[in-house]
Amino acid sequence: MIFIRAFSRAVRFQRKIFGEYSSSLCLQQATFRDILSAPEGPEGAVSHLRGSSLKVLGCREFSSWALPALYSVRHQIHQQSNSYVEEQLDPFSLVADELSILANRLRAMVVAEVPKLASAAEYFFKLGVEGKRFRPTVLLLMSSALDVSTHEPPSKTIENTLTTKLRDRQQCIAEITEMIHVASLLHDDVLDDADTRRGIGSLNFVMGNKLAVLAGDFLLSRACVALASLKNTEVVSLLATVVEHLVTGETMQMTSSSNDRCSMEYYIQKTYYKTASLIANSCKAIALLAGQTTEVATLAYDYGRNLGLAFQLIDDVLDFTGTSASLGKGSLSDIRHGIITAPILFAMEEFPELRVVVEQGFENPSNVDIALEYLGKSRGIQRARELAKEHASLAAAAIDSLPGNDDEDVKRSRRALIDLTHIVITRTK
């Protein structure tokens, strides 16, 4: 089971940063989404309903997504034995210039000789549809957060050269990670028969399944070439394992038995393979390239793993509470495809009779309505959010456990990584 033990330090950290989430209630699918997404809880939701009418290389125009009231408040961050209060940062703005460089390199990397393949491969790297660039942002911030010199260089010139070379290699990890991520999206959309992605037509919908699959394969091949250029066998092994995990996770989802679909342990394992492994192992690769110790590399991995799990848990909540417009894809898509996620699993614990509906499947739309009714009566949404908060706290605690460093850029990057954990669990799209 992938759950990490909730050690006391993480719990204390969680209580400092995250408040209590309100429960949600709904009885009919028509009002379900409004009620579950209401921040003020069931009473506020009802009032609201009554009050309304019922390398291989970014662009500065990356998405500054879901920066809620986070930036109007302050929180405490512990480093070593001291604590201090800092104004909240926009993590994305700290690496905006590098994201612009990465986006340009990525567009250059996906150029192909065959025009149709080139058009397909660059489909989600074009200006305006690059997505959040969440993973490259995490990795660039991690690179800065681990910028700890292990020895004195013979001269300032050599130090600058070594630093620039390391940063280039770490940027390459960010580029590779984004290509692997986009390739997985292209393949997932084919398997799910999706027709939208990032607010536009999915590639398989626009150009057909065959070309979408080939475009994904092409991106993976380009990622492999870039990975080989790093000449680091441990990093190559890590990211090769990520690709294996992506395939394993998708296969788990496609071939799950009735018992598997109703198992929280199975769900978390699958979620790690499909989402968290890429972030976790990429963060670890950043640490390894920097020559960090095994302990530091493990903390980087723990941050990425828990951040990835929190991210997917909120994604699964938003599939029920979000709208197609805000998500850039169809809402309720998971349950309509028979995919059981944390909110339904928690609802089943309260209402065991829901399992009968899950085992029958959701080809019949009435079963979707029944499941949503049970979900609305349960604490499924709230408990999924609470689990996401637990993982976000564990991710923040991993950053808090890094060796002390007095460099202001390092401190700022570590604060930004902690801020990202809050952004992940408070986002609405």
Distance CA 52, CA 71 (A): 29
Please give the mean pLDDT across all residues of the chain: 79
Q: Which residue has the higher pLDDT, 369 or 2?
A: 369
pLDDT of 67:
37
pLDDT of 207:
84
* Per-residue pLDDT band at 39 (split at 50, 70, 90): very low
pLDDT of 71:
34
Q: Tell me the per-residue pLDDT of 103-124, one tens digit each, with 9 for 90 and over.
A: 889 988 888 888 888 888 888 8
pLDDT of 324:
52
Q: Tell me the per-residue pLDDT of 289-327, one tens digit each, with 9 for 90 and over.
A: 999 999 999 999 999 999 999 999 999 999 999 765 544
- Per-residue pLDDT at 24 exceeds 70: no
DSSP for 246-283, written as a single string: HHHHHHHHHH--HHHHT-HHHHHHHHIIIIIHHHHHHH
Distance CA 242, CA 193 (A): 24
When pLDDT is averaged across residues 191-199 and rounded to a whole number, the result is 79
- Per-residue pLDDT at 23 exceeds 50: no
pTM of the model: 0.76
Calculate what percentage of the chain has a pLDDT beyond 70. 73
Round the CA-based radius of gyration of the chain to a whole number and report it.
Answer: 22
- Per-residue pLDDT at 157 exceeds 80: no
Write the single-letter amino acid at 266.
Answer: Y
Q: Which residue has the higher pLDDT, 9 or 363?
A: 363
pLDDT of 337:
86
pLDDT of 156:
53
Domains, in order of start, for the chain:
8-426 (1.10.600.10)
- Per-residue pLDDT at 260 exceeds 60: yes
- Per-residue pLDDT at 79 exceeds 60: no
**Choice among 54-58, 239-243, 302-306 with the minimum mean pLDDT:** 54-58
**Residue 423: C-alpha distances to residues 45, 101, 135 (Å):** 23, 24, 14
Tracing tokens 């050690």 back to the chain, one arrives at: 7
* Per-residue pLDDT band at 130 (split at 50, 70, 90): low
* Per-residue pLDDT band at 421 (split at 50, 70, 90): very high
Distance CA 264, CA 422 (A): 24
Tracing tokens 């509906």 back to the chain, one arrives at: 357
Phi, psi of 405, rounded to the nearest 5 degrees: -155, 135
